[in-house]
């Protein structure tokens, strides 16, 4: 398994390393049109995605077979060179992996799915989230028969940390005839969500970057966001006999509320003392932050960091004499980050994940499908949007009438629905009180012993069901 168990919080936590958040000028309509240009070639229609799949099959079939051979049982079904044929007969979230590829029927009307993602911004750019969704759609159209024969037409719109562009993307989605909107990261969701709600469009999956998204009734996330992570870290620290836990977090409501209203109550209910170490969201120097956490006497430290803050967090704490347990998001377990950390240091860090470490077929299938169909890097947090897209596809195939109302109803009544490389989701009842959009908040905690040579170790002994932890 590649190190693609990155946690869902990667996007919002990357904001802790932001340098600026200026908004561009211009009208909403013009902005929306201009932001879709980078993605035209990758996924603007069903014809493009099917042709891409066909043109790359012969060149990569052997490589995909080698990559997945170690993690799947041999199959007696003859291979047609497709990704699914390498996993033929294996159990996965949608039943059994098909023996061979079935392309969507290009003569049928495509099903439009819109997407909003933040890119090209100094406040955080996440093209891998879009790239993974595009790869998932290409895989669905080329090998899974689309949605009962109909191809999916993914229409990404790129926002850049401005509410104007997020709102414009939502307006574009409403005018596109989309049956749903998926997201990567949309920090301007406070502006896009009302537009989607007014037009009856459900928001499905991606990274819940704002408090508004977590509390939205027209959104579904196969994730626990920062809320699930903080509660899971607290539970594990108490289980391991720690005495005091420090939460270091950026001063932004999407971090403050999960820490103060969820992480701290769970920790204290389990007998832990707590310390809060807030730091500026933009341009934070991690040394004084980590020094304050260590000086508090905590023997467990949670740092809401990602991107450029990951390496200094892992390397500075040992230099400060900290010998307790460090908890970081899976964003900090990216290959390019851990390559900079000595194995003995990274082996002591615990990261969260929302993909089951034992779901080897689906993790290997993700690797094979993105290697085959992604036109740009789609790893790391791309697991989140690949999962969202596959889950949406599976739901669409079950509907008699495919429209926004039917999608919304199916999600709102869902109970223990299998999720691609993740915990089953339930939206019919709140999994996290006050945050109805978090339909699969359960977490696993992992240790990465070395740089991708060994399998990640399960540090939590399976899933932590955070939905049961909050004191009443």
pLDDT tens sequence across 163-207: 999 999 999 999 999 999 999 989 889 999 999 999 999 999 888
Question: Do the domain assignments include residue 402?
Answer: yes
Question: Do the domain assignments include residue 392?
Answer: yes
Most distant CA pair in the chain: distance in Å? 66
Domain residue limits at 365: 10-224+359-425
Burial class, 463, CB count within 10 angstroms (exposed 0-12 / middle 13-18 / buried 19+): middle
Residues 202 and 344 in one domain: no
Q: Specify the residue for token string 């790391």.
A: 380
For residue 433, give Cα distances in angstroms to 143, 276, 456.
Answer: 39, 22, 31
Residues 251 and 332 in one domain: yes
Note the pLDDT of residue 319.
Answer: 96
Note the pLDDT of residue 365.
Answer: 97
Note the pLDDT of residue 1.
Answer: 45
Residues 19 and 111 in one domain: yes
Contact between residue 182 and residue 114 where contact means Cβ atoms under 8 Å apart: yes
Residue 450 belongs to domain with CATH number: 3.40.50.2300
Residues 66 and 55 in one domain: yes
Rg (CA), the chain: 21
Q: Supply 241's token pair.
A: 């006999």
Note the pLDDT of residue 27.
Answer: 33
Note the pLDDT of residue 359.
Answer: 78
Question: Do the domain assignments include residue 5?
Answer: no
Which residue ranges in the chain fall short of pLDDT 70? 1-78, 123, 306, 451-453
Q: Is the dihedral of CA 308, 309, 310, 316 positive or negative?
A: positive
**Which residues, other chains included, contact 44 with Cβ-Cβ below 8 Å and sequence gap of 6+?**
153, 155
Note the pLDDT of residue 38.
Answer: 36
Q: How many domains are contained in the chain?
A: 2
Question: Do the domain assignments include residue 3?
Answer: no
Residues 220 and 364 in one domain: yes
Residues 340 and 382 in one domain: no
Residues 173 and 47 in one domain: yes
Residues 14 and 145 in one domain: yes
Contact between residue 23 and residue 164 where contact means Cβ atoms under 8 Å apart: yes
Note the pLDDT of residue 453.
Answer: 65
Residues 255 and 345 in one domain: yes
Note the pLDDT of residue 305.
Answer: 75
Residues 215 and 236 in one domain: no
Contact between residue 128 and residue 366 where contact means Cβ atoms under 8 Å apart: no
pLDDT tens by residue, 364-394: 999 999 999 999 989 878 899 999 999 999 9
Note the pLDDT of residue 54.
Answer: 37
Burial class, 107, CB count within 10 angstroms (exposed 0-12 / middle 13-18 / buried 19+): exposed
Note the pLDDT of residue 3.
Answer: 40
Question: Do the domain assignments include residue 432?
Answer: no
Question: Do the domain assignments include residue 433?
Answer: no
Q: Is the dihedral of CA 129, 135, 141, 143 positive or negative?
A: negative
Whole-angstrom distance, CA of residue 283 vs CA of residue 285:
7
Note the pLDDT of residue 354.
Answer: 87
Whether the model pTM is above 0.85: no
Whole-angstrom distance, CA of residue 194 vs CA of residue 112:
20
Question: Do the domain assignments include residue 438?
Answer: no
Q: What is the Cα 374 distance to its own chain's centre?
A: 16
Residues 370 and 349 in one domain: no
Residues 300 and 288 in one domain: yes
Question: Do the domain assignments include residue 4?
Answer: no
Whole-angstrom distance, CA of residue 245 vs CA of residue 39:
43
């Amino acid at each position: 398994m590649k190190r693609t168990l990155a946690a869902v919080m990667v996007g919002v936590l990357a904001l802790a390393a932001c340098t600026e958040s200026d908004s561009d000028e211009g009208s909403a309509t013009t902005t929306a049109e201009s932001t879709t240009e980078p993605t035209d070639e990758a996924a603007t229609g069903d014809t493009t995605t099917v042709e891409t799949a066909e043109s790359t099959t012969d060149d990569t079939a052997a490589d995909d077979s080698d990559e997945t051979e170690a993690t799947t049982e041999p199959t007696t079904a003859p291979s047609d060179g497709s990704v699914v044929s390498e996993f033929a007969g294996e159990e996965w979230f949608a039943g059994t992996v098909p023996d061979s590829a079935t392309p969507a029927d290009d003569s049928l009307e495509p099903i439009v799915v819109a997407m909003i993602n933040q890119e090209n911004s100094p406040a955080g750019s996440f093209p891998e989230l879009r790239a993974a969704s595009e790869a998932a759609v290409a895989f669905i159209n080329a090998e899974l028969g689309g949605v009962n024969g109909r191809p999916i037409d993914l229409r990404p719109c790129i926002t850049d940390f401005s509410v104007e562009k997020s709102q414009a993307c939502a307006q574009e989605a409403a005018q596109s005839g989309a049956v749903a909107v998926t997201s990567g990261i949309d920090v301007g969701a406070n502006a896009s969500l009302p537009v989607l709600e007014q037009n009856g469009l459900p928001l499905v999956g991606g990274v819940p970057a704002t408090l508004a998204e977590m509390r939205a009734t027209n959104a579904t996330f196969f994730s626990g966001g920062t809320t699930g992570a903080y509660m899971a870290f607290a539970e594990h620290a108490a289980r391991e006999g720690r005495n005091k836990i420090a939460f270091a977090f950026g001063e932004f409501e999407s971090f403050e509320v999960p820490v103060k209203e969820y992480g701290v109550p769970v920790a204290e209910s389990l007998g832990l003392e707590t310390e809060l170490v807030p730091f500026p969201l933009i341009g934070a120097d991690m040394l004084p932050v980590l020094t304050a956490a260590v000086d508090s006497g905590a023997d467990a430290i949670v740092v809401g960091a990602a991107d450029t803050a990951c390496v200094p967090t892992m390397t500075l704490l040992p230099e400060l004499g900290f010998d307790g347990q460090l908890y970081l998001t899976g964003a900090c377990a990216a290959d390019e980050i851990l390559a900079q950390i000595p194995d003995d240091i990274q082996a002591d860090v615990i990261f969260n994940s929302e993909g089951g470490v034992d779901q080897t077929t689906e993790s290997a299938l993700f690797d094979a499908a993105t290697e085959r169909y992604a036109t740009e890097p789609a790893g790391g947090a791309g697991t989140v949007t690949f999962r969202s897209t596959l889950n949406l596809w599976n739901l669409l195939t079950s509907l008699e009438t495919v429209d926004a109302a039917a999608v919304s109803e199916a999600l709102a009544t869902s109970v223990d629905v299998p999720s691609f490389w993740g915990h089953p989701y339930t939206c019919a009842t709140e999994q996290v009180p006050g945050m109805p959009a978090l339909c699969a908040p359960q977490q696993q905690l992992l240790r990465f012993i070395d740089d991708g040579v060994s399998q990640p170790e399960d540090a939590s002994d399976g899933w932590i069901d955070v939905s049961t932890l909050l004191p009443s």
